[in-house]
Amino acid sequence: MALAIFDLDNTLLGGDSDHAWGEFLVDRNLVDGEAFREANDRFYEQYKDGGLDIHAYLRFALEPLTRFSRAELDELHR
């Protein structure tokens, strides 16, 4: 069995993929833009500073996904 592990952030993608996903949601008007962008930026700064509460971030980042059907999530993924 072969295993390949990729670090997407600043390697395959310019920037942070988690932060970019939040920007995608804002750009598509799928979340409250101003509030979500502010929180997304705040979590990203905490991450860069080494003080991210991963559990709080995951609650924030995953909550919007609960509003979509599987078909809608698949379309967003594409």
Task: Pick the catalytic residue from 7, 27, 49, 53.
Answer: 7
* Whole-angstrom Cα Rg for the chain: 14
> How many Cβ atoms sit within 10 Å of the Cβ of residue 44?
19
Catalytic residue list contains 16: no
* Residues composing the chain: 78
Alpha carbon separation from 34 to 26, 30, 48, 69, 77 (Å, rounded):
8, 12, 21, 24, 23
Catalytic residue list contains 9: yes
Q: Which residues are catalytic?
A: 7, 9
